[in-house]
Chain A
């Protein structure tokens, strides 16, 4: 079993839809959870960063972490064509090595 599982999609939604992206992980030692957005042929950029369980909201984006079920989510409200990208979840332990473990990424297309 991979440490971080993420459905690669692709996922296609109409503009204005609510998008739900999800990952599961197996290592209970993971404490830090991140979502990165990666446009085609570009490096990833950090979208959301949360520590331990709970919700975090930033504009149209909400990140949720449920450590009891080892499930992390990213919600995008009022999705826009500019949100079309690949979204990668990532996790890290408290080990201090700062190594990130990434999911495969979900390719999202928002159609105008």
Chain B
């Protein structure tokens, strides 16, 4: 399967600051990628879908001005959590579409907002 990396793997930030998470596809190019959030003992919840070169499509209830997604190239996408608050603490995971509904996930980023 495809190799996807995320950076950082873990980040702790203070309330009110912004955090950027990078997602890279290391061995293939993908036009569509997804950002998920996973709370403890909960399922992965899709936050947004983005296509390279166009604006992301956000799921209902996800604030697009708070979670900024930039799909700058076929191998790089970033998620910026702006003005983070403790309730934003979660495990954020990106994935790239491999077609036929296969998705390849990154290792995730653990965000803790104090």
Q: Which residues of A contact B (CB under 8 A)?
A: 4, 6, 8, 32, 34, 36, 41-46, 49, 88, 92, 97-100, 102-105
State whether B49 touches A100 (Cβ < 8 A).
no
Expressed in whole angstroms, the minimum distance between the Cβ of A48 and any Cβ of chain B is 11
Expressed in whole angstroms, the minimum distance between the Cβ of B7 and any Cβ of chain A is 13
State whether A43 touches B43 (Cβ < 8 A).
no
Given known A41-B108, A45-B1, A46-B1, contact A98–B103 (CB-CB < 8 A): yes
B44 touches which of A8, A88, A97 (Cβ 8 Å) = A88
State whether B43 touches A103 (Cβ < 8 A).
yes
Expressed in whole angstroms, the minimum distance between the Cβ of B22 and any Cβ of chain A is 14
Main SS class of interface, B: strand
Chain B positions within 8 Å of A4 at CB level: 43
Look across to chain B and name the residue whose beta carbon is closest to the beta carbon of A44. Answer: B105
Number of interface residues of B (CB under 8 A): 26
Provide the bound-state CA to CA distance between A98 and B6, in Å. 21
Chain A positions within 8 Å of B34 at CB level: 98-100
For B87-109 the 0/1 string (1 means CB < 8 A from A) is 00001010101001111111110
Chain B positions within 8 Å of A44 at CB level: 44, 93, 105
Q: Which residues of B contact A (CB under 8 A)?
A: 1, 4, 6, 32, 34, 41-46, 49, 91, 93, 95, 97, 100-108, 110
State whether A98 touches B32 (Cβ < 8 A).
yes
Q: Provide 24 A-B residue pairs closer than 8 Å at the C-beta atoms, listed in order of the A residue.
A: A6-B43, A32-B101, A34-B101, A34-B102, A41-B91, A41-B108, A42-B107, A43-B4, A43-B93, A43-B95, A44-B44, A44-B93, A46-B102, A46-B104, A49-B102, A88-B43, A98-B49, A98-B103, A100-B46, A102-B43, A103-B43, A104-B41, A104-B43, A105-B43
What 8 additional pairs, Cβ within 8 angstroms, besides A41-B91, A98-B101, A99-B34? A34-B101, A36-B105, A43-B6, A43-B93, A43-B105, A43-B107, A97-B49, A98-B32
